[in-house]
Structure 1
Amino acid sequence: MLIAQLSDPHLCAPGTLYQGLVDSNAMFEAAIRRLGALVPAPDLVLLTGDLTEHAAPAEYRLARQLLAGIRQPVLAIPGNHDEREAFRAAFGDLGYLPASGPLHFAAGSIGPVRVIGLDISVPGQHHGDFDEGAAAWLEATLAAEPERPTLIMLHQPPIETGIGFIDAYRCFHGDRLAAIVARYPAVERVLCGHVHRHISRRFGGSLLLTAPSTTTAIALRLAPDAEPASFVEPPALLLHQYSGTGLVTHYLPINPGTGPLPFF
């Protein structure tokens, strides 16, 4: 089973630029074209939040229009730039989101890997929170099929990355999530977005990964007093390939670069 992960497209109303500077819409279209050219084609596409910049109706209409260009099933969770009810209205007809409450879901009918989506958004805030309600829901969901290979997706990573100005907006109560993950060794990955960079860390006995954004990258500034900034670095996506022996994750630039060349 091959699963593609895109993140943080920050789609804007047609004709406008992300932060007034970057054409995030065109960059997401390029990512979709890259997906369409992959051989073999992914079986499933995940979007780990911040589909839109302002959660405006025009942005969600554009999101649906662009996502219609993806042949595979798409599972998406909201980020801090989305808005829960606007997100539910935009994607509720796809059948995997609940009709009320947080937008948690479990999708297990697409292939051998179960995908669990967690809505850790805090309305009106930019940080996330894995609260007691989310913990109870996740525990029950994992316990229903404790040996099923599983991916858990959430927007803000529940760890400190070392980039202080983004860590202030992480998912809080990450220790609560790590304790649950540790009880279920079948959790192959914990997948996040939000930080606009690819980061990996052991987490609850599993592996936590963040996907890069399809638009700008948060500056890798590790000094405690570093000023926030972003760069237009080469955007990328992640490909998670599952076989009966486990999951392998590949980092794939959206621009394929020069090649193929006749050597390896």
Structure 2
Amino acid sequence: MVSAQSEAVVARLDAPTADDRTRIAVVSDSHVTPRAEGTAMVYHRAADRLRTALDDAEQRGVDAIVSPGDLTKDGAPWEYDQLDDILEGIETPFFGVPGNHDVPKASTETYRYGDSHETPPVDRFEREYAPDGTIPFVERVGPLDVVGLNTATQPDGSLKETHDGAVSDEDVAWLEDTLATVETPVVLMHHNTPAMYDQFRDLRDAAHPEMGLPPVMRDPGPLVDVLTDAEVPLVVSGHLHNLGVAKTGSTWEVTTPATGSFPQAYLVFEVDTDGTTVRYVPVADTEGMTEAHQARRSDGVTSMAYTSFASIRLATLPLVDER
């Protein structure tokens, strides 16, 4: 069993702050599927690991559970059915944004990493998992304004044959207007800022020259400019199946590890008058974590490098301490 008290501090940040203590659990990259097993994702454990995260978060009495996406393996209808069955059992408010694996891709006949099934359109994700059924959104959690962005699809379909991300010009403009109206924004999105990707490039250059790099955020400049100009204190992301902290201007990004692959965990963000404390909560015991470590480490050069990166980060917690 995973103890409800198992945790380690990932970061202590000066901001955001809140007069009333607020706790948000973040679950990412669960990649649930009832029809696959093995690989670096340990697919046959994915559903149970997500259930463990949700159950543990509820035991802690968090104010909300949110997800930066990739809740499903590849957005197949049967994967969404399994996800809905899992989510049906929780009472804590839950909402999220889609990841690149949650949305339709081109057929595998034209795109190697595409879909071999009919993935529901992104508005199905919005309807089921976004507040008021739309993305982008602002959802109040205690004194915090959680601002959700879709980085997984574009109105022109330009992300159909890639797992890169982007934020549309329309949504960047919406974000700029919205940030002028909220007091304590926390931005939730799947893909990452350049500062976070740079850490993977640094890893490659320092220790793993043959590793591949993860899909990136395309044309991130306008988005980053809006975030930094508005002095957004916190961005919460996923996508990288790793834990990390990166800073651009006064904006911190915290990326959430996968519940599915090593280092199987979720994060709890606790915001109070002192600032924000981010805690890492594992969702597997020693045996399960060993299985996940071996599965990811042995799945090729890139997976081996990412596994070593996760281990390094776990060994050097907290990654940031501003207090």
Q: TM-score range by the shorter chain?
A: 0.7 to 0.9
Match of residue 242 from structure 2:
197
**1:208 lines up with 2:253 in the alignment:** yes
Contact 1:152/1:191 (<8 A) preserved? yes
Q: Per the alignment, in what secondary structure is the counterpart of residue 37 of structure 1?
A: helix
1:92 to 113, 127, 139: 127
Contact 2:96/2:130 (<8 A) preserved? no
Q: Higher strand fraction: Structure 1 or Structure 2?
A: 1
2:73 to 40, 45, 53: 53
Match of residue 151 from structure 2:
120
The worse-fitting range, judged by mean Cα deviation, of 196-205 and 78-87 is: 78-87
The equivalences for 1:140-219 within 5 A come to 140-145=177-182, 148-159=183-194, 160-164=197-201, 167-185=213-231, 187-216=232-261
Deviation at 1:70, TM superposition (A): 2.3
Deviation at 1:133, TM superposition (A): 1.8
Q: Which has the higher contact order (CA 8 A, sep 6+)?
A: 2
The equivalences for 1:74-93 within 5 A come to 74-83=94-103, 86-90=121-125, 92-93=127-128
- C-alpha distance in 1, partners of 2:126/2:38? 22
Contact 1:57/1:86 (<8 A) preserved? no
Q: In structure 1, what residue type is equivalent to 2:100?
A: N
Q: In structure 1, what residue type is equivalent to 2:28?
A: S
Contact 2:31/2:73 (<8 A) preserved? yes
Deviation at 1:237, TM superposition (A): 1.0
Q: In structure 2, what residue type is equivalent to 1:83?
A: V
The two structures, once aligned, show a CA RMSD in angstroms of 2.3
Contact 2:95/2:130 (<8 A) preserved? no
Q: TM-score, normalised by structure 1?
A: 0.79
Match of residue 12 from structure 2:
none
Contact 1:64/1:90 (<8 A) preserved? no
Q: In structure 1, what residue type is equivalent to 2:283?
A: I
Q: Which blocks of at least 5 consecutive residues in structure 2 are unaligned? A: 1-21, 105-119, 154-158, 202-210, 287-323
Q: In structure 2, what residue type is equivalent to 1:6?
A: V
Deviation at 1:171, TM superposition (A): 1.2
**1:31 lines up with 2:63 in the alignment:** no
Q: Per the alignment, in what secondary structure is the counterpart of residue 144 of structure 1?
A: coil
Q: Per the alignment, in what secondary structure is the counterpart of residue 81 of structure 1?
A: coil
Q: 1:237 to 1:94 in 2, by over 3 A?
A: closer
Deviation at 1:256, TM superposition (A): 6.9
- C-alpha distance in 2, partners of 1:168/1:130? 17
Deviation at 1:200, TM superposition (A): 0.6
Output one character per residue of 1:163-182: Cα deviation in whole Å (capped at 9) or x when no partner.
Answer: 35664511122232221112
**1:251 lines up with 2:280 in the alignment:** yes
Match of residue 71 from structure 1:
91
Deviation at 1:247, TM superposition (A): 2.0
Aligned length: 231
Q: Which blocks of at least 5 consecutive residues in structure 1 are unaligned? A: 217-232, 258-264
Q: In structure 1, what residue type is equivalent to 2:59?
A: A
Deviation at 1:104, TM superposition (A): 1.2
- C-alpha distance in 1, partners of 2:284/2:42? 20
**1:139 lines up with 2:176 in the alignment:** yes
Q: TM-score, normalised by structure 2?
A: 0.65
Q: Per the alignment, in what secondary structure is the counterpart of residue 48 of structure 2?
A: helix
Q: Per the alignment, in what secondary structure is the counterpart of residue 190 of structure 2?
A: coil
